[in-house]
Amino acid sequence: MRKLIAGNWKMNGLASSLEEIETLKGLTGGAACDIVVCPPFTLIEKAAQQARGSHIAIGAQDCHTKTSGAFTSDISAAMLCEAGARFVILGHSERRAVYHETNMIVARKATAAQEAGLASIICVGETRAERDEGIALDVVRRQLRGSLPIAAASANTAIAYEPVWAIGTGLVPTIDQIDEVHRSLRQILEQELGQEGRLVRILYGGSVKSSNASSIFDVPDVNGALVGGASLKASDFAEIISAAA
């Protein structure tokens, strides 16, 4: 399966950061994997113009469940699409925790994204306390089941397993732990989507760096990565991409 490597810039980046996309284009031409950069909303249109005609796609970090309406400050999937986005990250733990996004809201956002023509990267992941309690698999399985859009398919949906305790901490689960969770998520995808569930890409996210990327990508059901901090600098991100390719 062709790997998907997505960079989540989170709330980082001004217009000057677009140089990183230019550099990334040069460093990753011909890479045998799909590459997505998700800058903040304010940079999507410019980033999409810059990436036009290249192998890099642009994504967003969230969208609303509705197409339009009185939702001050929110942005719809159709708006993102018009601005040039092709992907959207949904249900990131930083949003689930702070904005109380439930699985149902994530599923509705993913359905809205799908209707607008965007592919979703749906995040799931347990907290440290949930892992210590021995319920990590139950948590991520429940999140996945509840967060899938109507008519989920490999063309419009990818999943990112991001243990909350591994995000931005430098801590990474063991290879066996990643393997166990990804196999379990694959099972759920097959139960929910049948044959199509085998083709949905499952990314790993949480402190991915060039030094650990290869061993993570060697896990059979790891089909890519969702990278935060290490995606901000083109040279660091390109090393991760080259480990995947």
Ligand X SMILES: O=C[C@H](O)COP(=O)(O)O
Is 167 near ligand X (CB under 6 A)? yes
Q: How far is the CB of 152 from ligand X (least distance, A)?
A: 20
> Is 3 annotated as contributing to ligand binding?
no
100 is catalytic: no
What residues numbered 168-207 form the site for ligand X, per CB under 6 A?
168, 205-207
CA distance linking residue 141 with residue 97, whole number of Å: 18
Specify the DSSP element, H or E, that contains 4: strand 4-8
Q: How many residues bind ligand X (CB under 6 A)?
A: 14
Which of 178, 95, 162, 174 lies closest to 127, judged by CA?
162
Place of tokens 């702070």: 98
What residues numbered 68-97 form the site for ligand X, per CB under 6 A?
92
Is 240 near ligand X (CB under 6 A)? no
What residues numbered 214-233 form the site for ligand X, per CB under 6 A?
226-230
Q: How far is the CB of 228 from ligand X (least distance, A)?
A: 2
> Is 215 annotated as contributing to ligand binding?
no
Q: Using CB under 6 A, list all residues that contact ligand X.
A: 8, 92, 162, 167-168, 205-208, 226-230
From the annotation, which residues make up the binding site for substrate? 8-10, 168, 207, 228-229
